[in-house]
Structure 1
Amino acid sequence: MNFRQIEAFRAVIITGTVSAGAELMGITQPAVSRLIAELETSTGFALFDRVKGRLVPTPEGQIFYRDVEASFRGLDRLRSSAARIRDFGSGHIRVASLAAAGSTIVPRAVRKFRETHPSAIVTLSIMTSAAVRNHVVDGEFDLGLAADEVDLSGVGHQVFGSFPALCAMPAGHPLAVKSVIGPQDFDGVDYVALSPEDRARLQFDRLCAEAGVRPNLVIETPFAITACALALEGVGVGIVNPLAIDGFAERGLIFRPFEPAVYFKSYLLFRPDMQKASLVRAFVAALLDVRNTRHSASSTGADRPPLTDETSPAIAGQS
């Protein structure tokens, strides 16, 4: 088995025909057929069935292709890594973040990180917490910031913080006259909810059930920043992560504390082999510094609550 044979197999899969695969590789059609025949001999099983003159992947061929494609993705990463090293040098960190922090606290951490590492390249991707966890586990990102509903098995992790929820509502909403919002205030109120698996959403639902109230759920979204946008448009009242609220008060959205407290807990996730890497440690330090200085008073008419409880996580790789 050699790379050229694997390349021919992949070319036929992604183009659908031997002739198109040959054109993609820049070789003749008989050469592609020969390479695939050699690969089938090497693997010991048929990769394609010949159906009415066409090659259709066998079940074994489909399974084999999944591993082939994973290998090519790895090769693409190697090409990208080589290009970055050639163009920018070796300093590079890949960060994935949940959406609530991806437009606020993480960009500030990037700015702070670059003050001490001006030559380092940062790749930042915003995705769901589940995707953050999976990409870190797969080694595609060095550091992740995710909500606490993710599976923490197989990944290095530490608590980033617990953030008390705020109640978001449009200007002029009847609840805006209250200084603190409780579950009893939601009875019959149009409600913008987070995803059912969100831990803060589950806490809120439990408090409403215990109080015997029933909010009027009108829409669900996985992203707190979207919940803020929906509340701003008057769709309903939301329970939101304070990491996601920046800029919305200036646009007219009203925020009030919610009691009993509902917490948005988040974790830093690491590839096990990257937790003590110097760039990762430096970026985590920047994140924690931004987190710790973000409790200044907001312009909502009420003080912004502290963004951490008694938890004080250590910088990655330190006790």
Structure 2
Amino acid sequence: MKLNLRQVEVFRAVMTTGTIRGASELLFVSQPAVSRLLSHMEIQIGFALFERIRGRLHATQEAKKLYHEVEAVYERMQRLNELASELKEHQEGILNLVASPSLGQMLIPSAIARYRQHHPQVKLGFHYLTHLPLAERLLKQQADLAVTILPLNHPNLAQEEIGTGKMVCICPYNHPLSRLAMLNVQDLLPYPFISYDRNSPFGKMVQQFMQQQEQSPKVVLEVGSPQNACALVQAGVGISLVDQFSAQSWATSRFVTRPIMNAPSLHIYLIHVRSEPVSRLAQAFIETLKTVIAEERY
């Protein structure tokens, strides 16, 4: 049993409009033609798609499940048409980038600005995402490159370390910790501490660091990301540990940054799909990004 595209089109039209008449008007064909194609489709697949009650069509549960898959196909077709149009408009090409929020606030925008100076005709897409959605974009080939501070361990993804930073402490201006040039974990203990969801990748990193130091800070709030922590520290809620990249992205912040003894290193990872060759446009962006990272001394 194989369904053809015309049958799928008719089925979707009936599901969308709810009537044979509506489907015929949508597809610019006669009502008998729609009914005939629909009946043939039901015979072919071996079960009813609609129940006819008081002259109206009601989709069966099987039809609803099919419709879900049909809509996914149409979404892919729509994306295909959009891509074809974009490729026609942007002859030099299209490059889609994703990054973790820590790097997406400052580092990647700086690299994009530099890249566009030499590739003004390339259409760029850029989103910053959390860990799992970022990997999903790559695996679905909705992004060409990802840049993140956390490794993505997946057999279908290749990653390269292209920069290094540190975990640092941030505290409000005029805070007692701001008077110290270097902190240790014990220095943090008297003050309200903004931490992270323990199941989040960065939260696990902070928790592991605290356990290694055999200390437990006074947690008053848990947040989802270092960027959230920066905003709260700036508001005076407490102190926190964040990655160096997030702290430096708040150029006009009202908090200060201090190094911590024995703080773990954080790395910048460049990630792409292993089975796909890196395009010329992507390779040019990688070189630009590495230049920016070197200039920032990460």
Aligned partner of 1:56 among 41, 56, 59: 59
Aligned partner of 1:187 among 186, 189, 193: 189
Aligned to 2:291: 289
- Whole-Å Cα distance in 1 between the matches of residues 234 and 26 of structure 2? 51
Q: Greater CA deviation, 17-26 or 262-271?
A: 17-26
User: Shift of the alpha carbon at 1:256?
Assistant: 0.6
- Whole-Å Cα distance in 2 between the matches of residues 109 and 251 of structure 1? 22
Query: Are the counterparts in 1 of residues 196 and 203 from structure 2 also a CA contact under 8 Å?
Result: yes
Q: Greater CA deviation, 37-46 or 107-116?
A: 37-46
Query: Are the counterparts in 1 of residues 159 and 270 from structure 2 also a CA contact under 8 Å?
Result: yes
State the AA in 2 paired with 1:117. H
- Whole-Å Cα distance in 2 between the matches of residues 139 and 283 of structure 1? 17
Query: Are the counterparts in 1 of residues 202 and 225 from structure 2 also a CA contact under 8 Å?
Result: no
Query: Are the counterparts in 2 of residues 13 and 57 from structure 1 also a CA contact under 8 Å?
Result: no
Question: What SS does the aligned partner of 2:241 have?
Answer: strand
1:165 matched to 2:163: no
State the AA in 2 paired with 1:101. L
- Return 5+ residue gaps in structure 2 as ranges: none
State the AA in 1 paired with 2:115. F
- Whole-Å Cα distance in 2 between the matches of residues 51 and 267 of structure 1? 59
User: Shift of the alpha carbon at 1:77?
Assistant: 1.7
When the two chains are superposed, the root-mean-square deviation of aligned CA atoms in Å is 2.8
- In structure 2, relative to structure 1, the CA distance for the partners of 1:148 and 1:247 (3 Å cut) is closer
Q: State the identity as a percent.
A: 25
Query: Are the counterparts in 1 of residues 198 and 207 from structure 2 also a CA contact under 8 Å?
Result: no
- Whole-Å Cα distance in 1 between the matches of residues 32 and 195 of structure 2? 59
- Whole-Å Cα distance in 2 between the matches of residues 252 and 141 of structure 1? 35
Question: What SS does the aligned partner of 1:161 have?
Answer: strand
> Superposition pairs for residues 91-240 of structure 1, below 5 Å?
91-148=93-150, 150-240=152-242
- Whole-Å Cα distance in 2 between the matches of residues 207 and 276 of structure 1? 36
State the AA in 1 paired with 2:96. R
Question: What SS does the aligned partner of 2:236 have?
Answer: coil
Question: What SS does the aligned partner of 1:217 have?
Answer: strand
Question: What SS does the aligned partner of 2:222 have?
Answer: strand
Aligned length: 295
Query: Are the counterparts in 1 of residues 183 and 258 from structure 2 also a CA contact under 8 Å?
Result: yes
Aligned to 2:260: 258
- Whole-Å Cα distance in 1 between the matches of residues 89 and 44 of structure 2? 39
- Return 5+ residue gaps in structure 1 as ranges: 296-306, 308-319
User: Shift of the alpha carbon at 1:216?
Assistant: 2.6
Q: Greater CA deviation, 107-116 or 28-37?
A: 28-37
Aligned to 1:4: 6
User: Shift of the alpha carbon at 1:294?
Assistant: 1.0
- Whole-Å Cα distance in 2 between the matches of residues 17 and 71 of structure 1? 22
Aligned partner of 1:73 among 72, 75, 97: 75
Q: Greater CA deviation, 234-243 or 213-222?
A: 213-222
Q: With structure 2 as the length reference, what TM-score do the two structures score?
A: 0.85
- Whole-Å Cα distance in 2 between the matches of residues 267 and 247 of structure 1? 18
Greater C-alpha Rg: 2
Question: What SS does the aligned partner of 1:180 have?
Answer: coil
User: Shift of the alpha carbon at 1:62?
Assistant: 4.5
Question: What SS does the aligned partner of 1:230 have?
Answer: helix
Query: Are the counterparts in 2 of residues 129 and 145 from structure 1 also a CA contact under 8 Å?
Result: no
The Cα offsets for residues 252-298 of structure 1, whole Å up to 9 and x where unpaired, read as 21101122122333422213354331111111111111111113xxx
Q: Greater share of helix residues, 1 or 2?
A: 2
- Whole-Å Cα distance in 2 between the matches of residues 188 and 34 of structure 1? 77
Q: With structure 1 as the length reference, what TM-score do the two structures score?
A: 0.80
- In structure 2, relative to structure 1, the CA distance for the partners of 1:22 and 1:101 (3 Å cut) is farther
- In structure 2, relative to structure 1, the CA distance for the partners of 1:215 and 1:51 (3 Å cut) is farther
Query: Are the counterparts in 2 of residues 191 and 237 from structure 1 also a CA contact under 8 Å?
Result: yes
- In structure 2, relative to structure 1, the CA distance for the partners of 1:215 and 1:24 (3 Å cut) is farther
- Whole-Å Cα distance in 2 between the matches of residues 121 and 105 of structure 1? 19
Q: Greater CA deviation, 285-294 or 67-76?
A: 67-76
User: Shift of the alpha carbon at 1:148?
Assistant: 2.5
- Whole-Å Cα distance in 1 between the matches of residues 232 and 131 of structure 2? 21
